[in-house]
Structure formats: structure tokens, C-alpha cells
Structure 1
Amino acid sequence: MNKPTAPISVVIPCFRCAQTIQRSVDSVAAQTHLPKEVMLVDDASDDDTLNVIMKLQNRYDKNWIRVVKLEHNGGPSVARNTGWEVATQPFIAFLDADDAWHPRKLEIQFGWMLAHPHVAMTVHNCTVVLSGMPDLTLPDTWRATPVIPYRFLLFSGRDGFSTPSIIMRRNLPYRFEPMKRHSEDYLFKLQIVLDGNETWRLELPLVFLYKARYGERGQTADLWKMEKGNLDTYWRLQAERRISWVLTIVLCAFSLLKYLRRVIVVYRRKCKRNAYKVV
């Protein structure tokens, strides 16, 4: 791995991901600028996940991949927080065990952060890959735009960003809510942005998501639980005095409308699949 390195700790929560974790780790190893370390946090998986990640540690440098085993399943928040706590580098990046990065992600994103040292967190666009190989082509020109808190609140579906797109400063005083199993990453992002920490979005697709945004496997499969998680997020922000009562009610109403739209989209998607099966 004789490549340039970046002072970044990559945290990957691992739960029942024996079939996908190698793709994720390989995408990190394929970076043109390598992170200093990769934290694989096994969240008490009851399948072959731990064996697979131990083999990955042996395959790569043991000082590069660090394996942390949790005795009890705590969910993605606990796994991410645990990896964060034992990380040694000044920057943290997150990746999910079923997703992958573009090979130039760290080169481009961290390079931009070095040129803008006042920025607390950067994010970027993503590409959903449901079949075939991802397109690695990047535009010759692109722009960076500031994440505006209230626009992010109102239009998180269109203007939001996925957790695997984040690179942030490790010393920021935030953590994922450990008791929250749905929408925990949304709450985390909103707390950071609403508190005025400067966040910028790079308009480049540097992460590949191997599932639809909602209605597929994983946490997003149960739409109503996810929606309840979103509503809980708004009320938590109100209790923390980050948003007003009036805005909370508006956000909840808007969120429920988006939930109904998601239900319709998923229903149509299932009908289309069933039609293909009949044919």
C-alpha cells in the first residue's frame, strides 16, 4: 500500500454483513489516498461476520484494519460511537458495510478540507447501484455548496446526504444517540448543522449505495418505523431548543406527507416486480 495517506479513521459498523463487508473494505483499500486506519466494529453479529472481518484484517495490514468486537448488539449508533472512541486520527469518515466508496473519495474530499480548515464537516452526493458495476466517471468541473440548516430540515430527501459521505473533525462534541434505532444518523447530522458547525457539500457522487433509499433491505425496509424515527428526531430537536414548536409541527406534517409518498413509491415498485415475475 505505497500510496499517499490521509490522517483519517474510517469507522464501519458490522452486523450480519458477511456477504458485503469485503466490497466495502476493498473500496477503502482502493483509495488513491489511504486512510491511516479502518475500524471494523462487529455489533455482536450472529452469523459469519466476525470470521470474515478477521480474515480481512489478516489479508491487509493488521495495523491498518482494527477489529472491535461488541459483546452485545447495540445497533449502528453504538457501533459507530465505539469506533469513534478508539479512533486515533484527527478526522473521522463513516462507511456502511453494504456500501462502497469511489476510489478518489478521500483524495478529493480530504484535499478540499485541507484547503478549507475552518470547515467542520464535508459531505457529497451518492449514486444508488441496484445492478451492474458503478460508473466511476467524474465530471471535469464541480462545485461545493454550503449546507443550509433549514433547507436541510425541510428538504432532507432532496438536499440530504448519506452517512457514508461524511468526513468530519474527530474532536466535534457529538455522538450518535445510542438508544435510537431509526433515524439516528439524521438526528446526528441535524444537531451538527443546526449548531452552526460549518458544513459543505461537494457536488460529486463519491459513494455507491447498493440499496434503494427506502423500501429495500436494512433499516429503511420498515417505512413506518423509519417515519416514527424521523418524527422523534424533530421532537428531540425541539426539546433541545434547536428548533421551535411551530417549526416542529410543520416538519412533522411535511414528513408525514413524504412518508405517504414513499409508501406509494414502494407499492408501485413491488407491483412492477410482481408483473415481471408473472411475465
Structure 2
Amino acid sequence: MMVNKALVNLSGFADVSVVIPCYRCKNTIKRALDSVYKQTLRPAEVILVEDASDDGTLEYLNSILKEYSVGWIKVISLEINSGPGTARNVGWNASSQRYVAFLDSDDSWHPQKLEVQYSWMERNPNVALTGQMGVVISEGVGATLNRYQLNNVVFSEISKFRLLLSNKFSTPSVLIRREVQYRFTAGKRFCEDYELWCRVVCAGNGCFTVNVPLTFCYKPLYGHAGLSSDLWNMESGELSVYDVLRKNGKINLAVACFLKGWSLVRYIRRAMRIKFITRLS
């Protein structure tokens, strides 16, 4: 895929601010940053929001700034640990570009990730958000590049009903227009991202998935150490999304009840699967 020079701003960068919440991430943040720096269409800025870590993460972030272009990375330090949603809001509000991309400190991007999404969204100004569910891998970034080639790129619209049935976007994959007025619910630590995507699509904004692998996650969504114990918290967070949408008049009582029932069925199936896998291990 060739970069359309008309889509690059005068500084030679894409009009994208990348926001990365950072909490106890000294072992993984370099991998994430390198994957952003090596983009074929590099973003104009990266905003690292240090979420009051107690292990020297802030000092480490400041120490690696010199390894990248001067001024390309901004570090914002929070005094109180507030969770990734709040950290992303802080970075989003501090961003200066027309688009905001999110990346987690322990994930990474395909080198053409921004080129694919940014170029397509520039040609489709009515679309507010693009993304996908990230690909879970276990090997390093270099090993993935030979395996995941970008052929026949297709963007598909996600309807309100499809998104309400299940989340279609992992946060590190999302590219969103900065002008979107909604934000992550402050202080909410489970499904705050899913709530935001639902609010965006329920407001009539176009949301599309892309079929090629652009985002790489290094741990499974469920069953990973620390995550399986949070399974019910995640389910409770999802159920609360439907309460918020109903309260705001986006769905009625019947739809909310149906969605909650469907969510609980999926939760039970997921919990049983994890329990079975745990017994085998």
C-alpha cells in the first residue's frame, strides 16, 4: 500500500495523536513505542499518561525519550492511580491532532496500522471510528510481520445491534476522530471502552471494522493470570453498559433485558470454558 502524500500534514506526519496509558510497564512500553515509531505513516505525537505507578515507571519513561525524535513524545503524570479509562481521557483531552489512536503499553501495532486506518478514514469523513479485535500472539513483533501480510483490506460497518450484542473493538486497535464528544467513563475500570463505543454508535456515528490484522496483543482476553479472576467484574461492567444506554434513552427496557440475558449466557459459557482449561493444565 502506497502512502497518499496528500493525507500527510505539512510536518510530514499523519494528523494522529497516540495515547498510551502507562502503569508498571517498564518491561513492555519500549515494544509498544517502537511499533508506533516504525509506522509507515508516523503519527504526529505520542502521549504517555503515567498512571501513578509505584515502580519507577515515570522515571523510566523520561529516560527513554531521547531514543526518539525530540518533542515527539509527551509524558503526563497522574498523581493518583485512576485506571486506563481516565488516563486515556487525559491524553485525549491533551491531544492536538484531528485523530486519536489508543495503544496499551503491553501491545503493539503492525507497521502499516495507521496508514491503513488513517488513509481510509480520510476518504470517508462520515466515519467516526475504526478498529478490530486484536490478534493474540505469543512471539515477538518481528516474528509476526512475516506471518501477517495485509492483502485485500476491507472495512465493514458495525451496526448498532451488532455492537450491542458483543464488543467488536479492542481499545489498542481504535482510531477515532478527536472531535467526538464522548469520553471513557471516569473511574470505571471494566468495559469502559465498550461503553464508549456503544455511545458513539448509538449516537448515529459510523463505526467500521477492518479485516486485516493490525493490532497485536500478547495475552489472551480471558483466562490469563489476573484476568480470569476479573471475569465477573468484566461481566458486571458489560451489564452496566446496558443500564447506561437505557438510562440515556438509547435502548428500551425490553432490549436491555434481552441484551443482559444474552450477555449472561456468554459469560457462563466463557467461565465454563476457562474452568475446563484450568483443570487440564
Shared fold, TM over 0.5? yes
For structure 2, list consecutive stretches of 5 or more residues without a partner in the other structure: 1-10
1:135, CA displacement in angstroms? 4.4
The one of 105, 109, 112 aligned to 2:120: 112
Aligned residue type for 2:144:
P
> Structure 1 residues 218, 242: closer, same or farther in 2, change over 3 A?
farther
- Residue in structure 2 matching 1:255, options 256, 259, 263: 263
Q: Which moved more, 1:177-186 or 1:120-129?
A: 120-129
Deviations 1:153-197 (A, max 9, x none): 1143xxx11111111110110110003111111101100011111
Look up the match of 2:180.
Answer: 172
1:217, distance to aligned residue in structure 2 (A): 4.3
**4+ residue runs of structure 1 moved beyond 4 angstroms?**
217-221
Q: CA RMSD in A?
A: 1.7
What code does the residue aligned with 2:16 have?
I
- How far apart in 1 are the matches of 2:241 and 2:216? 26
Residues 228 and 274 in structure 2, CA contact (< 8 A), matched pair in contact too: no
Question: What secondary structure, in the 3-state scheme, does the structure 2 residue paired with 1:41 have?
Answer: strand
- Of 170, 194, 200 in structure 1, the residue corresponding to residue 202 of structure 2 is 194
How many residues of Structure 1 are paired with residues of Structure 2 in the alignment? 268
Contact 2:221 2:227 in 1 (8 A): no
Map of 1:267 onto structure 2? 275
Aligned-partner residue type, residue 124 of structure 1: Q
Secondary structure, counterpart of 1:11 in structure 2: strand
Separation of aligned partners in 2, 1:76 and 1:211: 17
Paired amino acid for 2:56: D
Which amino acid letter does the alignment assign opposite residue 146 of structure 1? Answer: E
> Given that residues 237 and 243 in structure 1 are in contact (C-alpha distance below 8 angstroms), is that contact kept between their aligned partners in structure 2?
yes
Letter in 2 for 1:165: S
Task: State whether structure 2 residue 58 is matched by structure 1 residue 40.
Answer: no
1:92-130 deviation line (CA, Å, top 9, x unaligned):
000011100000001111111111122111113421013
Partner of 1:236: 244
Displacement of 1:142 in angstroms is 2.6
1:242 and 1:146 map into 2 onto residues whose CA distance is: 19
Q: Is the 8 A contact 1:130 1:212 kept in 2?
A: no
Deviations 1:193-248 (A, max 9, x none): 11111111111110001110212146665101111111111111111111111111
Hey, what's the Cα distance between the residues in 1 that align with 2:222 and 2:41?
A: 31
- Greater mean deviation of Cα atoms: 216-225 or 49-58: 216-225
Structure 2 partner of 1:153: 164
> Normalising to structure 2: TM-score of the pair?
0.91
Report the AA paired with residue 32 of structure 2: S
SS in 2 for 1:120: strand
Alpha carbons 1:113, 1:119 under 8 Å: kept: yes
Moved more, 228-237 or 37-46: 228-237
Secondary structure of the equivalent of 2:87? helix
